[in-house]
Structure 1
Amino acid sequence: EDKVTQPPGDVILTQGQTATLNCTFSTIRSDPYLFWYKQEVNSYPKFILRRSLYSADNSPEFVKDRFDAELKDSSVPLMIQDLHVSDSAVYYCALRPTSEFPTV
């Protein structure tokens, strides 16, 4: 069974600091794909980045020198460096679901 867990509660930091947002997961996949999204008030979730064992992709809007994540074992914490006021939002971690049907 696939499962993603983020700790509850707010992370309170000030401008210029570095935030680390935790995300742990479990999956039967040998090649998990993890995603981070940012959702601002009255807006839809925006794709930040995707990480797998073999690739690392960031949305052009979220440059890697400020938004980064390392997939290790069963976690993929998001690091946001040099915090801006505009970084205030809800952040979601997601796991590509395991297909119910094997690929042929």
Structure 2
Amino acid sequence: MDSIQRTNDFQWGDIGEDDDLDFLLPPRQVIGPDDNGIKKVIEYRFSDEGKRIKVTTTTRVQKRVLSQRAVERLSWPKFGDAAREDAGLHLTVRSTEDILLIAPGKILKF
């Protein structure tokens, strides 16, 4: 299926039984959000019987309200490894040391 591009001039003989026919469907449309925060997503897919189905999803989008202290913390300068990274990246650092977690009341035998 990799050899078939997303164009209208394809050969039906090049398509196998297991190939995905999603390139025949219209593209996904995102409408909104409007003034009330309503966003519509229109997608198309094939049913099990091979019929084209239109799926419309309507959701309400809410803005995240930050406290004044959280807004202040966002303006603080970065430090450590985060200072050397791009400002837009979310930085997750994996610890290099093993941390042993022991449930209270459990006795460990080595």
Structure scoring higher RCO (CA < 8 A, sep ≥ 6) equals 1
Considering only CA atoms, is the larger Rg found in Structure 1 or Structure 2? 2
User: Scaled by the length of structure 2, what TM-score is found?
Assistant: 0.26
User: Scaled by the length of structure 1, what TM-score is found?
Assistant: 0.27
